[in-house]
Amino acid sequence: MSLSSAARTITQKEREFVTLQVEKFQQQPQKINWIRKKKIKNGKFKRIEDRIFVVTKFWVFTIGKRRNSIHKKICRFAHLFDLKGITRKASDNMILKFKDFEIDLHTTESDEFLKIILTNFYRLVHGFPENELPKIEAENTDLPTLKDSKPGKAGNFVRTYKAWCSYSQIPANDFLIENIKSRFQDTKDFYEGRTLDLSVIDKLPQLKQLTFSDLNASEGFTNLGNMLVKESIALTHLDLSGNRISDKDIIQLSKGILELKSGLKYLDLSRTKLTVNSTCKIIEVLKENLRHHSIEHLNLSKCKLSQNGTNLLGDFFETIKSTTQLNRIELAFCNLNLEKIVDLIIKYYSRTTLNYLNLSGNHIKKKHLLFSKLCKSAVTLETLEINNCKIKINDSSEIFKNILQNENLSDFSLNLCNNPIKMIGIKAMTNILENNKQFEILQKLYLDDCSLGDSGLILLCEAISKHSTLEVLSISRNFSKNTTSTCREKISTLFSHPTLKYLRIRGTLNKNLGLTDKNSVDFFEPLKTNEKIIGLDLSYNYMGGASFTNLMNNLSNKNSIRSLYFNQNNLTVDAITQFYKSFEQKHKICDIKWPGSDIYQLNKVAKKNERDVILTGIEQVQGLIAIELFENRKKYNIHQIQIIEDEVELDIIRKGLNQTAFTKNSNKKNHKNKNSCNENSQNEEALSSEELIDERYMDDEEENGNGNQDSSLQSLRTRRLTTSIQYNGLMVPPRVKNMQNEKYEESNFEENVSQQSEENFY
């Protein structure tokens, strides 16, 4: 297939030349062997603007006009591309980027080019022969499906699959989606979406849940509003978060919401860049339609609210006080003084239904009185998120005091991250903790980036070790520049805490634990006797290989550990070898992260445990490693390999489940997954919890055992998406996160995993 026959195509000699360079590159895992233009002889590239794509088994190369003539890209779908006909005219202005799985195509021929990709992708996924597309036939279901279609070489790309099917105007195979989605969840997305595809809604009169989140879409919302007005759908859940809804679109969209015959129970408009007028319009609609007074979940985080909008929201809360079952309110980063809102929440909801409240990133006057009153009067509240609220010393201690003295609370989660609590605030909090008998109320405490310093950490660790029944503690990025030995000793006592399950102690380049080969021996020794701890995060502490070895020596006989994170640490081959020995003890570790500079040393011992997942970090992960892992995957029982430039992931999934779910024939062996590589982030803080909090590792199969595999798969076969559409995160482009928001999201690591499995750290 070609885009145009006008200009020349890649010659056979050029292909042979690049293939030769690729082979050389694969033999040098420690060095990137760039192919430069000066090596190309006989005038093959007369124009510097020429850009040619060359696809090999695992690599996509571009020969172009940039400084380095060859740009290495590992693409998950490289084997799907038929680029033999790419011409000079088409390649002049075309940019094909795989950073965060985004495709940017800026040519008139790009649509045809993308259709070529989509055609190959669709054929491969559904297992149809080359150049043969299936006939689309609707079965007796609410969604059109493919008759007798079978999953082919499917991987963890459910969002990409649905996005591409939407682009091609071809219905997705729901059985395939459910099988994939139940085992793997994408944390990355492929290309940027602009317009929502709403064609499927017409065929779903019983639609109850509609999710179009993180599409970065800017068009289609007017059509959505018209459809909500026209169709008598039973919609109760609407999620449009992460898009760009204009004032023009919001007018018709709000009309659609107003005319809904069913009452909304779930509304998420967070991160939609709504203007003040748009936000006010939505609130007015919620207030006017009495059916919406049954709302249970309201999320307007990062939406602009003027004083008028705040008053409207307050009026709405007051109007629905007697009819609502509102249990979750999220108003993070609205940059408002929310005294009226908080007063209404305290008055009407904190004693009845509210169990989750997020007011992060807002400037709230009289914090001392408001939050203290809220914590004192709350009966059903379980989680309070007030990070980035400029809560100071006295405020934090009063909040802490009222929580511990409230006998109605249980299993409470408090997030105070990125507030200037400092050592004095911690001292007041620890005094309250020591003098209060109700300390078992507090189960989760997040104090990242609170400027505690070594003195504050010492006081906190002493109080927690003696009195607390905490299960989750996060104290990242609170170190002084030169961490004292006393501080390390006190933090070490947390390893022997009788109730702690999840512990996060991240550092930074200049402020970290300061572990050395010598002091790490005593630091990790308390882990020997700890049988409770499940997750441990020591990322960005720049500890050496000997420190890692000391840690593994103390964990070698522990079966409780499920998650270990060692990003940005200086591990050696000897340290990783010690880790292999731990694998011989049949650990049930499901999630491990470490730097990837020595990943090529992976051996049989490290890979033989099918239940484990190895995540390795950044740096020199090169082609030979990928080829070796792919070629020997059967030998090591590795059933999924995901290779990206900032981490290598080996998802080792149970063999029986994987075979049944992802092959054309359940008696055949699994297909290889070919995966992709993003460009590496240079920011050491970029590993946000959005990347780490991941739904890939579903534990249903582990809890149910092998005996229940057939029944669980049978239930997947019979499930139909007749009442729900999930386009969640289909085409989100790479975006630079607000640092405050990143830290806020990071603090929710344990809560997210609790919905899936208590074995996962995040």
Please, is 656 exposed, middle or buried when counting C-beta atoms within 10 Å of its C-beta (0-12, 13-18, 19+)?
Answer: middle
Rounded mean pLDDT, 613-623: 29
Work out the angle at residue 531's Cα, subtended by the Cα atoms of residues 526 and 532, and round it to the nearest 5 degrees.
100
Does residue 316 fall inside a structural domain? no
pLDDT at 663: 30
Cα–Cα distance for residue pair 121/110, rounded to 1 Å: 16
With a cut of 70, say whether residue 508 has pLDDT above it: yes
- Kindly report the number of other CB atoms within 10 A of residue 704's CB atom: 12
Do the beta carbons of residue 614 and residue 650 sit within 8 Å? yes
pLDDT at 447: 92
pLDDT at 162: 57
For residue 539, the SS3 value is coil
- Kindly report the number of other CB atoms within 10 A of residue 734's CB atom: 15
pLDDT at 557: 63
The crossing angle, in degrees rounded to 10, of helices 367-377 and 393-404 is 10
635 vs 653, more confident: 635
The boundaries of the domain holding residue 75 are 12-155
With a cut of 70, say whether residue 134 has pLDDT above it: no
pLDDT at 395: 78
Distances (CA, A) of 220 to 243, 253, 372, 644: 11, 10, 44, 33
Do the beta carbons of residue 602 and residue 630 sit within 8 Å? no
25 vs 590, more confident: 590
Rounded mean pLDDT, 598-602: 38
When the pLDDT of each residue in the chain is averaged and rounded to a whole number, the result is: 58
How many angstroms from the chain centroid is the CA of residue 377? 35
- pLDDT of 710-751, one tens digit each? 333 222 222 222 222 222 222 222 222 222 333 333 433 343
Does residue 144 fall inside a structural domain? yes
Does residue 45 fall inside a structural domain? yes
Work out the angle at residue 184's Cα, subtended by the Cα atoms of residues 663 and 79, and round it to the nearest 5 degrees.
55
* Residue 625 CB partners (closer than 8 Å, separation 6+): 29, 599, 600, 602, 648
- Kindly report the number of other CB atoms within 10 A of residue 755's CB atom: 8
Find where tokens 């060359």 sit.
54
What percentage of the chain reaches a pLDDT higher than 70? 43
Q: Residue 439: what residue type?
A: F
Do the beta carbons of residue 677 and residue 670 sit within 8 Å? no
Do the beta carbons of residue 249 and residue 221 sit within 8 Å? yes
> pLDDT-derived band of residue 128, with 50, 70 and 90 as boundaries?
very low
Rounded mean pLDDT, 141-168: 36
Rounded mean pLDDT, 215-236: 68
> pLDDT-derived band of residue 456, with 50, 70 and 90 as boundaries?
very high
Do the beta carbons of residue 330 and residue 302 sit within 8 Å? no
Do the beta carbons of residue 660 and residue 709 sit within 8 Å? yes
No. of helices (H) and no. of strands (E), the chain: 26, 21
Rounded mean pLDDT, 204-212: 64
Does residue 133 fall inside a structural domain? yes
Tokens of 732: 């989100």
> DSSP readout, 333-346?
T--S--HHHHHHII
Cross-sheet strand order for the sheet of 52-55? 52-55, 60-63, 70-73
- pLDDT of 34-50, one tens digit each? 333 333 333 333 322 23
With a cut of 70, say whether residue 314 has pLDDT above it: yes
Cα–Cα distance for residue pair 397/432, rounded to 1 Å: 8
Give phi and psi for 563, each to the nearest 5: -140, 130
DSSP H/E element including 211: strand 209-211
pLDDT at 348: 72
367 vs 319, more confident: 319
Does residue 435 fall inside a structural domain? no
- Please name which of 63, 67, 65 lies closest in space to residue 53, comparing C-alpha atoms: 63
> pLDDT-derived band of residue 240, with 50, 70 and 90 as boundaries?
confident
Cα–Cα distance for residue pair 420/443, rounded to 1 Å: 22
With a cut of 70, say whether residue 422 has pLDDT above it: yes
Do the beta carbons of residue 477 and residue 449 sit within 8 Å? yes
- Where is average pLDDT lowest: 222-226, 461-465, 555-559? 555-559
Cα–Cα distance for residue pair 748/603, rounded to 1 Å: 35
Does residue 510 fall inside a structural domain? no
Does residue 148 fall inside a structural domain? yes
Cα–Cα distance for residue pair 629/599, rounded to 1 Å: 10
| Rg of the chain taking only CA atoms, in angstroms | 27
Rounded mean pLDDT, 72-95: 34
Do the beta carbons of residue 341 and residue 331 sit within 8 Å? yes
With a cut of 50, say whether residue 438 has pLDDT above it: yes
Tokens of 650: 């080996």
- Please name which of 54, 47, 46 lies closest in space to residue 75, comparing C-alpha atoms: 54
The region that residue 362 occupies, defined by phi over 0 for left and psi between -120 and 50 for alpha, beta otherwise, is beta
249 vs 202, more confident: 249
Expressed in angstroms, the distance from the first to the final Cα of the chain is 45
Rounded mean pLDDT, 376-391: 85
> pLDDT-derived band of residue 17, with 50, 70 and 90 as boundaries?
low
Tokens of 188: 């990355």
Do the beta carbons of residue 288 and residue 317 sit within 8 Å? no
DSSP H/E element including 313: helix 307-319
* Residue 23 CB partners (closer than 8 Å, separation 6+): none
- pLDDT of 263-292, one tens digit each? 788 899 988 878 888 888 888 888 887 777
Q: Residue 737: what residue type?
A: K
Rounded mean pLDDT, 403-414: 83
pLDDT at 410: 81
What is the length of the chain? 762
Q: What is the dihedral of CA 393, 399, 401, 406, to 10 degrees?
A: 180
Q: How many domains in the chain?
A: 1
Does residue 722 fall inside a structural domain? no
Which residues are registered as beta bridge partners of 592?
Answer: 564
Rounded mean pLDDT, 76-104: 33
Cα–Cα distance for residue pair 223/196, rounded to 1 Å: 9
pLDDT at 317: 82
Cα–Cα distance for residue pair 335/309, rounded to 1 Å: 12
Cα–Cα distance for residue pair 470/411, rounded to 1 Å: 9
